[in-house]
Amino acid sequence: MDRRAQLVQRLSSTRTFARIAPHVIPALDRAVHRLSGGKALLSTRMLPGVVLTATGARSGLPRRTPLSCMPQEDGGWLLIGSNFGRPGHPSWTANLLKNPEAEVSWRGRDIPVRARLLTGEERDRAWRAALAFWPPYAAYQARVDREIRLFRLDRLDGR
């Protein structure tokens, strides 16, 4: 791993990052995503990302959330509900629990998906893969009492 990647990982593991990033990164990602016609996210300089459009659990309205993701070999995605290591599950996870059919914007394409909360051994395997992919997730988990939710997104477009 290069020095820049190590620095980014160290910084993203801090409590200061957890306080500031949720207010800055999604707003920048939304703007870049809109300006690029859905082809780019600023945060993908660190990690791959999607824009998730899910139905709000309480409102029933579409909610667009830029998220880091782990692309899977079969074309699906793993989403990690770390909330930057802050207390409480991120709202997008409650949306997927109530309304698992959603859509992701991935590399300029809108793709229908179905989300599934991972549990048991499947979650354990995915968590180990997530830690290998982005080690700061361990710091996020250490700061919170809740178990970080992991979701598997499967494509509904037949690919």
Please write the tens of the pLDDT for every residue from 97-143.
999 999 999 988 999 999 999 999 999 999 999 999 989 999 999 99
Confidence (pLDDT) at 82: 94
Over range 39-61, report the average pLDDT.
81
CA dist., res. 143 & res. 145, Å (int): 7
Confidence (pLDDT) at 142: 94
8-state DSSP, 147: P
Q: At what angle do helices 120-133 and 136-143 cross, to 10 degrees?
A: 120
User: Does residue 9 contact residue 135 with C-beta atoms inside 8 Å?
Assistant: yes
| Band of pLDDT at residue 42, cut at 50, 70 and 90 | low
Torsion on CA atoms 123, 113, 100, 86, rounded to nearest 10: 60
Task: Name every residue whose Cβ is closer than 8 Å to that of residue 56 and which is 6 or more positions away in sequence.
Answer: 62, 63, 95, 99
Give the pairing type, strands 109-117 and 70-71.
unpaired
